[in-house]
Amino acid sequence: MNNVIEIENIYKIYQVGNQEVRALDGVSLSIRRNEYVAVMGPSGSGKSTLMNVLGCLDTPTSGKYVLNNTDVSEMEDNMLAETRNKEIGFVFQTFNLLPRYSSLENVCLPLIYAGVPRQEREERGIRALINVDLENRKSHKPNELSGGQRQRVSIARALVNDPSIILADEPTGNLDTKTSLDIMHLFEEIHRRGNTIIVVTHEEDIAKHARRIIRLRDGKIERDELNPFPSLAS
């Protein structure tokens, strides 16, 4: 099977007072290995909820979610956390780096949780930093790095466990235009190496780098279309 993600009839329902809010309302989709997908939608469309479900940060109220041939729909929290660490690399708008840790130490965090021995952790962490052209900043702490460099450390951390998918939540939201283009160029390189990338964004110019754009509205997929002419950062 070539699909890394398959979700079928996913609902996420919240009770707000006497009102039932359907953040996801029967969403079904498949994402193939090595696809580059953007998920878009206005505030309240369900894109953040979908990201949390796809990222194994939350479980659906009902429906089926198969990640890399494993049904994760009803996993207990500890199994979900283990699957999340193994299968998904996260890139966040706010970088989520530990301020007292060096770049290399931040990158190696997922490997600590996975129980990888120290020497192997450091070797893999350095390789990940090389992949984002930041090996010369391996000893620097986040406050000694620019915003773009911090995001590169975040991307290296996402890559270090060789996950099934890279899930990026507004990855350029805190960056200027030039740095945003640099980061999107890096995503293109990562995609060319064979990684599956899902970018959650509200920015059209960022979404247009993806090869497929999924648009949500009111918890449903409004449109799901291929992007035959993706923008290329240079």
Average pLDDT, the chain: 92
* Total number of domains constituting the chain: 1
pLDDT of residue 128 exceeding 60, the answer is yes
pLDDT average, residue stretch 169-189: 91
% of the chain with per-residue pLDDT over 90: 76
Letter for the amino acid at 165? I
Q: Assess if residue 209 is contained within a domain.
A: yes
Using CA atoms, how far apart are residues 104 and 137, in angstroms rounded to an integer? 8
Q: Assess if residue 90 is contained within a domain.
A: yes
Cross-sheet strand order for the sheet of 62-67: 19-32, 3-16, 62-67, 70-71
Q: What is the CATH number of the domain that holds 168?
A: 3.40.50.300
Q: Assess if residue 15 is contained within a domain.
A: no
Q: Assess if residue 55 is contained within a domain.
A: yes
pLDDT given for residue 231 in this prediction: 82
Using CA atoms, how far apart are residues 95 and 163, in angstroms rounded to an integer? 18
Burial bucket for residue 233 (CB in 10 Å: 0-12, 13-18, 19+) = middle
Q: Assess if residue 10 is contained within a domain.
A: no
Q: What kind and span of H or E run contains 52?
A: helix 47-54
Residue 44 confidence class, pLDDT cut points 50, 70, 90: confident
pLDDT of residue 74 exceeding 90, the answer is no
Expressed as residue numbers, the domain containing 139 is 34-60+69-226
Cβ neighbours of residue 34 under 8 Å, at least 6 residues apart? 191, 194, 195, 196
Q: Assess if residue 6 is contained within a domain.
A: no
Q: What is the pTM of this model?
A: 0.92
Q: Assess if residue 166 is contained within a domain.
A: yes
Q: Tens digits of per-residue pLDDT, 181-218?
A: 999 999 999 999 999 999 999 889 999 999 999 999 99
pLDDT given for residue 164 in this prediction: 86
Q: Assess if residue 231 is contained within a domain.
A: no
Residues facing 200 on adjacent strands = 39, 169
